[in-house]
Every structure is written in structure tokens, then in C-alpha cells.
């Protein structure tokens, strides 16, 4: 097994062989070269704005080229909770945003002819316990009544039509969700942004951001520049350059293994409809096929990726995979890798302006579609000066309770344990 991001073997990722020089002066500087930053850059450059993306590593290096490629409807927080917390009208706007986000990805893929296998194969939410299935029945009625959104149930007796496993107790399917190859998508998005005139600067970590007289000054590894506006798109890699934002974001590791290529028959047996599959647990597993490999991910360790956490997670994930698909017990795992997710303390996504700097953060594992869409819509709001009206800007972006967090997540082992306990009792 190689500790390598499998997706990177399917495309030539942008590298640092031909570095774009750091410009002296731009209209907008974007920090972070993933879906959020690149989608924003494409939108701004298309409107004639002089825009630069400053990326610490190489373009697409972060979660955007490492994820499961699940391009999903909905938010991390259940819509029932969102209605209770923010009211019906706001919940409808937020849910609509999630549907729009899948459309945005589809539209960009089409307009820019990005070859990334985008396909509306739908997602399958599988019940780990009989009572989860009862909850899914309520969820189906609720989504139809409140959001006029049709999802359908798969009863336990019909699960074979969806998945080659009998460990689940039924499922819920949403046909609007899609899947894609995340690295191919981010590389295509980078090409599209560049083609429209955005400057993409790799190896340009921003080390300091300060407000000059009427412009921002950004000091990077490769030089200093000034910008009228700044957009922070650093997701789970948000650091102390934007300290106030860092204190609102918890970086959480997520890990994936990819099996060797399976026969057509076996791949078809595992997932006959090629769905994006995830389960109902707090410590959830998510999996899907790509090119006859099973791509199997989970929050196996809560800490961000290191050689050690990847190795440990790969062992846990392999066990989890076999517990779902016993038929894979002799199958080789070819690749294992990890990446970092960004969670806000309320598990919601947040956009807005803080000390004059725009941001879009807190995707909680839903950033393929949301990052792309919010990158675009926050960029539009920057141009129109109406960020406060954005649906994801209209509620509070909380800090840690009692201010007990300075950006180093000391509580992750406890959070991991807490999730395991919840899975046991719920």
C-alpha cells in the first residue's frame, strides 16, 4: 500500500515548475488555491477584476484534490435542526443554496469542458440500525413537506438493488446529488480561472496580512503585494495569519483508502447504481466507486494527516470496509491518504466580512459543491458590496464556548470518544 493520494495518479496536478511571479498590486487577493479560491478567482476575472490566488503549496494541494468527490445536496446539520434554529424561511434559502451548489458545479464543468466524470448518480444514506431507518422515513416526509424536495426510501428487503452488503437496515436516496473525480475537477477549475485571466501563485504562503492606509498588504514567501480586497479561502488549513478566523475553525482529519481495481462484476455487485454512499453514524464511513476501485473514507482518526495517522487510519478503514463488504477481505488496498476538513463550532458554513476581509469557511465535509458555489457567490457579493445579504452571512459565526480555543484543537480525542459513545447509544 502506498501513502499517496490516488486521485493524483489520474491527472497531472498543477505543480511548481513554472511559478507565476507575485504581482505588486491587485484588486483582489485570494488566500488558498482550492475550490473556494479558484471558483472565486474565475468569477472575478470574468468580470475584469485583477485577481491573484496565493497558495502556500501547489494549486489544489489541500482538501480539494483529496476528498471523496461526493457532490451533495443538503448541509452537515440536519434540515430539521436548521428550521428549529433559524426558522422556516431561512432554512428554505439555505437548502436552496445547497441545490444551487450542485448546479454550479455542473454548470462550470460544462462551460469549461472539465473532464472529471461529473455524473448525477445520487447519494445513498444507509441506516446502521432499524431505528435509523424509521428516522429516514420521517426525513423523507419532512423534505417533501418543507422543501418540496423528493427523496425516496429503499426498504431493507430491497437493499441488494443498491449495495452488495446486508449490514444496513434500509436507506434513503437523493437522486440530485452527484459524483466526480475531485483532483480532475480542481485541476480543471484552476485551468479555467487562469484562462479567464486570474493569476495563480503557488509556493506563496501568506505569512502576514495587515491593513495599510486604504489597501491590504500581504507578505508572502515570495514577496509582498497590496490588494484592495482580500478573500480568505483556507478551509481546514486556516492558520494564524487570520487569527480571528482560525479560532472559529476546528481542523479535523479525514482519511481514505482506495482498493486495487476490481472486476466489472464485483464493482457492480458493490454498488450497482454507482451511488455516493455514506452511513448514519457520527463516526461515519463514506464510499463510492471510481474506475472499478472502491474509494472508502471515514473519520478514522480525528487528527489531521501525518504518516502516522494515515497508517493507523488505513488499518481502521480496511477493517471498516470489510465489515461492510466481506467479499473484499482478500482485496489489496493500493493507496491511503488523508486531508483536513474545516468545522465551525456550530457545524454550519459561514461567509462574511471580518475586519474588512471576506471569507467562506466551515464546509464540514460538504465543500465540493458548497466551496465551488460559495466561492462564486461571495465573489459576486464582493463586487456588489452586499455580503451581509448572503444567506450564509445572516447568522452568527460562533467562537469556542468560554473562549477555550486558540486554534490548537486539544479536545479532538474527547470529541472522537464522544462520537463513538453517541454511535453506541443512538
Ligand X SMILES: Cc1cc2nc3c(=O)[nH]c(=O)nc-3n(C[C@H](O)[C@H](O)[C@H](O)COP(=O)(O)OP(=O)(O)OC[C@H]3O[C@@H](n4cnc5c(N)ncnc54)[C@H](O)[C@@H]3O)c2cc1C
Q: Which residues bind ligand X (CB under 6 A)?
A: 31-37, 54-57, 61-64, 66-70, 72, 205-206, 233-237, 239, 241, 254, 256, 297, 339-341, 363, 365-369, 371
163 three-state secondary structure = coil
Q: How far is the CB of 157 from ligand X (least distance, A)?
A: 29
Q: How far is the CB of 60 from ligand X (least distance, A)?
A: 7
Contact 269, 327 (CB under 8 A): yes
Q: How far is the CB of 89 from ligand X (least distance, A)?
A: 25
For ligand X, the closer CB: 138 or 355:
355
Q: How far is the CB of 56 from ligand X (least distance, A)?
A: 4
Q: How far is the CB of 252 from ligand X (least distance, A)?
A: 9
For ligand X, the closer CB: 104 or 234:
234
For ligand X, the closer CB: 162 or 305:
305
Torsion region of 403: left, alpha or beta (phi above 0 gives left; psi -120 to 50 gives alpha): left
For ligand X, the closer CB: 133 or 232:
232
Q: How far is the CB of 182 from ligand X (least distance, A)?
A: 7
Q: Partners of 357 in the beta sheet?
A: 354
For ligand X, the closer CB: 154 or 361:
361
Angle between helices 35-46 and 182-195 (to 10 degrees): 30
For ligand X, the closer CB: 169 or 229:
229
Closest listed residue to residue 291, CA positions, set 340, 322, 334: 334
Contact 45, 193 (CB under 8 A): yes
Q: Nearest-CB residue to ligand X?
A: 367
Say which DSSP state 332 is in. Answer: P
Q: How far apart are CA 51 and CA 249, in angstroms?
A: 26
CA distances from 406 to 124, 137, 165, 244 (A): 37, 41, 43, 9
Q: How far is the CB of 43 from ligand X (least distance, A)?
A: 14
Residues 6+ away with beta carbon under 8 Å from 388: 352, 353, 394
Give how far the C-alpha of residue 9 lies from the chain's centroid of Cα atoms, to the nearest Å.
20
Q: How far is the CB of 297 from ligand X (least distance, A)?
A: 5
Q: Cα(first)–Cα(last) distance of the chain, in Å?
A: 35
For ligand X, the closer CB: 371 or 409:
371
Tell me which residue has cell 440536519. 78
CA distances from 343 to 107, 300, 346 (A): 27, 16, 8
For ligand X, the closer CB: 51 or 56:
56
How long a stretch of residues is the chain? 426
Stated as kind and residue range, the H or E segment containing 28 is: strand 25-31
Amino acid at each position: 500500500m502506498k501513502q499517496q493520494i490516488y486521485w493524483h495518479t489520474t491527472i497531472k496536478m498543477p505543480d511548481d515548475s513554472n511559478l507565476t511571479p507575485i504581482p505588486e498590486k491587485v484588486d483582489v487577493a485570494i488566500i488558498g488555491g482550492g475550490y473556494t479560491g479558484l471558483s472565486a478567482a474565475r468569477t472575478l476575472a470574468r468580470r475584469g477584476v485583477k485577481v491573484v490566488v496565493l497558495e502556500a503549496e501547489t494549486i489544489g494541494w489541500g482538501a480539494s484534490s483529496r476528498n471523496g468527490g461526493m457532490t451533495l445536496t443538503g448541509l452537515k446539520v440536519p434540515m430539521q435542526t436548521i428550521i428549529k434554529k433559524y426558522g422556516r424561511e431561512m432554512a428554505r434559502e439555505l437548502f436552496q443554496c445547497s441545490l444551487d451548489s450542485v448546479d454550479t458545479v455542473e454548470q462550470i464543468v460544462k462551460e469549461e469542458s472539465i473532464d472529471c466524470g461529473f455524473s448525477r448518480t445520487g447519494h445513498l444514506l444507509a441506516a446502521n440500525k432499524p431505528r435509523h431507518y424509521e428516522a429516514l422515513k420521517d426525513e423523507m416526509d419532512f423534505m417533501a413537506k418543507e422543501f418540496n424536495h423528493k427523496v425516496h426510501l429503499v426498504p431493507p428487503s430491497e437493499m441488494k438493488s443498491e449495495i452488495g452488503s446486508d449490514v444496513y437496515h434500509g436507506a434513503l436516496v437523493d437522486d440530485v446529488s452527484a459524483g466526480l473525480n475531485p483532483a480532475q475537477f480542481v485541476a480543471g477549475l484552476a485551468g479555467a480561472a487562469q484562462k479567464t485571466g486570474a493569476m495563480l501563485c503557488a509556493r506563496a504562503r501568506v505569512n502576514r496580512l495587515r491593513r495599510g492606509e486604504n489597501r491590504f498588504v500581504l507578505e508572502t514567501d515570495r514577496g509582498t503585494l497590496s490588494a484592495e480586497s482580500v478573500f480568505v479561502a483556507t478551509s481546514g488549513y486556516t492558520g494564524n495569519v487570520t487569527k480571528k478566523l482560525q479560532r472559529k475553525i476546528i481542523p479535523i482529519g479525514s482519511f481514505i483508502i482506495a482498493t486495487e481495481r476490481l472486476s466489472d462484476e464485483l464493482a457492480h455487485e458493490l454498488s450497482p447504481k454507482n451511488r455516493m454512499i455514506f452511513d448514519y453514524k457520527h463516526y461515519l464511513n463514506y464510499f463510492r466507486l471510481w474506475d472499478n476501485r472502491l474509494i472508502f473514507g471515514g473519520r478514522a482518526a480525528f487528527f489531521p494527516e501525518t504518516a502516522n495517522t494515515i497508517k493507523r487510519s488505513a488499518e481502521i478503514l480496511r477493517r471498516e470496509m470489510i465489515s461492510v463488504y466481506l467479499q473484499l477481505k482478500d482485496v489489496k488496498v493500493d493507496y491511503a491518504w488523508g486531508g483536513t476538513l474545516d468545522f465551525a463550532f456550530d457545524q454550519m458554513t459561514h461567509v462574511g466580512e471580518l475586519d474588512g476581509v471576506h471569507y467562506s469557511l466551515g464546509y464540514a465535509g460538504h465543500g465540493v459543491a458548497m466551496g465551488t458555489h460559495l466561492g462564486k457567490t461571495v465573489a459576486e457579493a464582493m463586487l456588489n458590496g452586499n455580503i451581509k445579504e448572503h444567506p450564509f452571512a445572516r447568522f452568527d459565526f460562533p467562537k469556542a464556548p468560554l473562549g477555550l480555543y486558540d486554534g490548537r484543537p486539544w479536545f479532538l480525542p474527547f470529541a472522537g470518544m464522544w462520537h463513538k459513545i453517541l454511535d453506541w447509544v443512538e
